[in-house]
Chains A and B, each alone.
Chain A
Amino acid sequence: MIHKNLIKASLESLIFYKRAISPYVSGQCNFSITCSEYAQKTISSKGIIKGLFLSIARIIICSLYPIIKRFNLSNKKISLKIFFFFSLLFIICISCTNFSPQGGWSNVVKDTNQEEFYVISDEGRLFQIQFNDQIPMINWSYPEEENGTSYSSPIIRQNSVIGATYKCKGQACQGDIVELDKLSGEVLWKKTIPSKINSNLIIINDTLFVASLNNEKEDKINDASIYMISLKEGAIGEIIGKIPIEGEIWSGIHSYGEENIIVGTMKGMIYSYNVDELLSVKNKKYSEALIFSHKFPHAINSPLAVHNKRLFFGDIAGNFYSIKLEDFKNNQLDKIKILTTNEWIINNPIFLNDEVYLFTLNGDIYVLDFDTNEVKDKFSIDKIVVGDPIILSDASDQKFLIPTEKKGIEIVSNNGFEKGSSLGNYPTDKKLYSTPLIDGRTLLIHTQDGEILFFSIKSRDLIYCLDLNKGSVCD
């Protein structure tokens, strides 16, 4: 019935168009059956859906007719022209495809002693920010102009701050690691490596570890390497080692214990090294310092978290692994506990009272038992979560602040019967790929396009917005 009525209505509207509109709007029709007649025919014979589709196609073809008419060409030549037009379109479409790195994943890091904040913008500049009469101001930035891009957060040392950026020209990429004086923003040392730097850095034992993606075409066996840069006096800024790794490192280098590092790669490898032994290795035999390594079937893009002597990590296939470090060391991999979520895991889990809170990329929250890795509870916020969530605890209650891709910072309760329910959000439509930072009554977050948003934690209003690239208040 509805279908018939629809056909009737559309036919009547076409008749109306033919009688009332068409004579006054367009000139002579180029086709022996006019488009409206054609539409009437097809809709009445072939039904509304097919008929409408066909008549739209016909209108498109007819609108190409002026081109033919204008150039007055034979059919083959028209086809040549149209072909060239489309190939031009093709080239434009290809050239406007932007696959260059965008960056803007750096967290805002607070220097607790000085009340200063550090962040690396999407343009690869390191900023020092300070509150001046409750208004955030940029003290200094390095460099003054755009300098590639960055995915790593700054590291704060006693009197200095370390940042890493990289830039590409065509296929050739180079990464810059720089240490700056906190007071003046002057360069203490700078090192350039021929590689991208896609992840966070770490300092252990006065040695800076930088995970790189190998760019050199000659080095085909190893996809990545870990650079060791000395921060000791006398040899500051010198590369003292380069550990070959199978698979690219995207999730950064993580530490556990006093002086152990652990990395996961996109080829599913996990490596763990002892830093002390790495520093005393001779003739580049880094395998001597290896504590354990193992190949898993899928790519690992989640941070490796160690808590209470247990290792946790997720992979691209959506498996979340949990194993005791000792069992891993002793190669008892049958003791590994696997939870399958079927969603990408690229975030850091949160550990709370014998429970593990796992956040997947698609916004599912799993509450797992610490020992057994079994699902106790599951919620979903149905938003894309890239940055690591944090906990906001008041005297009375506990909440998760989850940065979502374009839908603000989601607030999820972790209390009693309303556990897992959404309590609203800190609104913004910017891409959030970094972790929020709680500073007293304000919540800071670095957006992907280089702005820092300051929210009031209680009222959830945007108090201030600082555009790093402009150096002033946002528009």
Chain B
Amino acid sequence: MSFISLIWNSIIMKPMINSLALLYDLLGDNFGLSIISFTILIRLIMIPLTIRQTKQMKKMQELQPKLKAIQKKYPKKDVQTKQKMQQETMALYKEAGVNPIGCLGPLIIQMPIWIGLYRAILKTSPSTPEGFVDLSKYFYSWNASISKIPFNSDFIGIDLVDFVQYAPTPWQFVLPIIVGASMYLQQKFSMSPNTDPRQQQTQQMMLWMMPIMFAIFTWQFPAGLAVYILFSNLIGILIQYYIGGKQPIMLLGKLYLGTTDSRNEYLNKIAETKKNNEENNEEKNEQKIIKENSNGTEDIQRKDSRRSNRRSSKNSRNRSRKSRN
């Protein structure tokens, strides 16, 4: 346990607290600006990852038809064919250089950052004497900004160390809503028009679940962490604009901010994807009908077997009663 905490402290907590303190010192003793610039730094460091993620997503899209072909190749659902299908899909991924879990990278990397920042923000403004003593252990010996402690955590009327639920009245409701909204927008922008209807469904769910979850989480965060997530999302939107084919502007075009050309382009694209989806759905429906037909006999067989099971269990019960008598 102590080994884990040692690694955790030296990789995440110490760099985080020190850089927060340094930025606080540099930016004229403003903790809010310190957190915002820290966010920008983190997003800058993670840019290669984000680029890789978008590239992988594009590759995945290109693979969709091939995947479908494999799925068609193995319509049966017994264990052996499934294994074969999985092996083949894995081989396909390998060939294209796609890691199916790779898209999760940025998300999983964000988790320790959130947890670390949550702790770092609370630690930099200790409310107890032992918290104060503890804080001194996190500073590098060369870091002179240590003398700025305790930080002035007031930022546009919000105490950044305090939890959002205790913030002054407009902010305690506004902050979760803004965070949720920014999360929604970022996801909307980073999402690519998908051809697979099943995937689209899950995407839609993610699109709604994530913002709602984060709005609820934010309630229990220190306001500083909410500021981090908010700005991280805003920067994410900006990055998407440069990497992801300038889609956000197209979306904004839909919101009557862009030129007429961009709007038309966007609308055309939407129409195309819709058409594709409809075609896919038709295909799927056909498949379903076939499946139902083939499953019909199996179902009857299953019901029969259930009945026979019940019978046998009844019989056994009767037997046991008899034996008791």
Contacts and interface: CB of A to CB of B under 8 A. Distances in A.
Given A87-B111, A102-B130, 7 more contacts: A75-B199, A97-B119, A266-B150, A315-B147, A316-B149, A346-B132, A384-B133
The secondary-structure label for the interface of chain A is: loop
Interface in B84-114: 86-87, 90-91, 94, 99-101, 103-104, 107-108, 111, 114
A316 B21 CA distance: 14
Contact of A83 (B90, B104, B146): B104
B115 interface: yes
Interface band, chain B = 35 or more
A70 to B, nearest CB: 12
Given A32-B90, A316-B147, A97 B131 contact: no
A405 to B, nearest CB: 7
Given A32-B87, A80-B206, A75 B132 contact: no
B118 interface: yes
Contacts of B101: 61, 64, 68, 78-79, 82
Interface stretch (B121-129, B269-277, B289-297): B121-129
A90 B111 contact: yes
Contacts of B162: 171
A301 B103 contact: no
A94 B220 contact: yes
B60 interface: yes
Given A33-B94, A83-B107, A171-B166, A105 B129 contact: yes
B94 A74 contact: no
Contacts of B90: 30-32
B205 interface: yes
Contact of B136 (A31, A80, A361): A361
B80 interface: no
A384 B149 CA distance: 19
Q: Which 10 A-B pairs have the closest CB atoms?
A: A317-B147, A76-B202, A101-B128, A76-B199, A93-B115, A75-B100, A298-B147, A86-B111, A32-B91, A79-B104
B86 A69 contact: yes
26 contacts: A33-B94, A61-B101, A72-B82, A76-B206, A78-B100, A78-B101, A79-B103, A79-B206, A80-B202, A82-B101, A82-B108, A86-B107, A87-B217, A90-B111, A90-B114, A90-B115, A94-B220, A99-B122, A151-B129, A248-B150, A250-B132, A317-B146, A346-B132, A346-B133, A361-B136, A433-B130
A166 B166 CA distance: 21
Interface string B126-163: 01111111001100010010111110000000000010
A105 B129 CA distance: 9
Nearest to B210: A83
A299 B99 contact: no
